[in-house]
Amino acid sequence: MKNRFFQALIIVATFVAAIVTIVGNTENIVLHWDFMGNATHYETKYFIILLPVISVLSFLAFLHYEKNPYTMLGKSDAIEVNDKAKPLVRCIKVVANIVLIILFYVTLCSAQFMTLHPTFIWALLIVIMCYSLFTRKKLKK
């Protein structure tokens, strides 16, 4: 329950940041950065609404996989064992939270409320990869 509340809070905060940007005086948002965090492409402020929509779609996808964790493995003939479902569901919850945090951060950076630091995003992506590999190794036991 706490996890869903946290995810809903992040999604609402992403929508609030997008709405504040649209209502505010900002005419353009950053749409693309290079690997060093320098803005390379700008677009009209209305494009920022895509980021909260992507957050909601990501949340719904993770919710589906959380309820049906074995569909994520891609094996239709996978034997569903309750012992192995717990670490997989935990991994899905952790990855969902990190992805929503990244999308919120990118929304704030697109709206130019803060500057983008690519190391923050790369660090979170490395955490996702390591945690996923750890969970995968745990599932094979």
Each residue of 85-96: pLDDT tens digit?
A: 788 888 899 999
| pLDDT score for 37 | 84
- CA-CA distances (angstroms) from residue 93 to 3, 11, 83? 8, 15, 17
- Among all chains, which residue has been given the structure tokens 């036991």? 141
Q: Which residues does residue 33 pair with via DSSP β-bridges, in sequence order?
A: 39
In whole angstroms, give the CA distance from residue 124 to residue 4. 20
| pLDDT score for 25 | 78
| pLDDT score for 141 | 67
19 vs 72: which has the higher pLDDT: 19
Number of Cα atoms under 13 Å in the Cβ half of residue 96: 25
In whole angstroms, give the CA distance from residue 56 to residue 7. 10
